[in-house]
Amino acid sequence: MTSSAVLAAADTAERKGRPARPRRSAATRQDWIVGYTMVAPVVLGAVAFVIVPLVAVLWFSLHDWNVLANTFVFSGTDNYERMLADPGLRDSLLASLWFSIGLVVLNVTLALFLAVLLNQKLPGTTTFRTFFFSPVVVSLVAWTIVWSFLLQSDGGINGFLATVGIEGPNWLRNDVTAMLAVIVVQVFKNVGLNMILFLAALQGVPEEIGEAARIDGAGAWRRFRSITLPMISPTILLVMILTIVGSLEVFAQIAVLTGGGPGNSTTVLVYYLYQQAFRFNDFGYASAIAVLMFLIVLVLTLVQWQTRKRWVFNEN
């Protein structure tokens, strides 16, 4: 017997001594096929509409790209170095900071207050809820245009104030009132959605816990602070993430109400990006600003997600 035959015989004997590998049944294979088929649209959508655009924007940010001049030249990190010395970018970051703070504080506070009122089951609750939720389904541009007429120097708000002997300011032509006006318009546009989220969370708080605390002598504020707020803290986290991300994406309100003015007082980061790309045709620099926006949103979301363990109820 040749050596190859001996080796083949030994290998056959070794395989016979091993336990047979279980074969996947037809049902298991079918489950795998169905599973991959179900997740394929989400995976393909994420690749096509999230990952590929992110990579493209990062690539564009490394170039000097002017559409009108038809130039697309690799510039390395020049656009990022330009951001460090750009006073317009610093102004837009500051405007975005003030807008985000004002929006989060007013929106979350008002939404929670309205949800607490609705949870009391007072007469007229349905009408009250409809009144505050209806702006959510109204066209954003139409909503903003109506407010632009109301906020004019001779508009509806100042006309109402004049009837009681008060001379209202030119809301959209003053640095402070212009930013305040944009914040208020955005708050009333989306507060209804957060109100419904808080209302659903409040209705999930067990009534017996609050009743036991009331019997023990806890007042209404103490019950709300020590029982209700911790129980709805997961919803507060969700609302804050949605509101902060939404505050960094505000565009239509700025474009219709103020155009970024007066001066640069309401030129938030996303509007500054729009100006660089579509007004000055500097798509390379605009892409670098888009990368900066992505990093800001990512960092803020990660910070909130990591700190949730300290204040969100039942988080480990």
Query: Using one digit for the tens of pLDDT, what is the confidence trace for 242-301?
Result: 898 888 888 888 998 898 988 889 999 999 999 999 999 999 999 999 999 999 989 988
* Structural contact between residues 219 and 290, judged by C-beta atoms closer than 8 angstroms: no
Measured CA to CA, the distance from residue 244 to residue 108 in angstroms comes to 11
What dotted CATH number matches 82-311?
A: 1.10.3720.10
**Residue 30 CA neighbour count, 13 Å, CB half:** 3
Task: Between 126 and 85, name the one with better pLDDT.
Answer: 85
**What is the pLDDT confidence band of residue 168, given thresholds at 50, 70 and 90?**
confident
Contact 148, 255 (CB under 8 A): no
The pTM (predicted TM-score) of the whole model is 0.82
List the chain domain ranges: 82-311
Nearest Cα residue to 62 out of 255, 263, 283, 213: 283
Question: What confidence score (pLDDT) does residue 23 get?
Answer: 57
Q: What pLDDT digit, counting tens, does each position of 54-100 carry?
A: 999 999 999 999 888 888 999 999 999 999 999 999 999 999 999 99
Q: Which of 7-11, 101-105, 133-137 is modeled with the greatest confidence?
A: 101-105
Confidence tier at 184 by pLDDT (50, 70, 90): very high
201 close to 167: Cβ distance less than 8 angstroms: no
- Contact status, residue 177 vs residue 158, Cβ threshold 8 Å: no
Peptide bond into 262 cis (omega under 30): yes
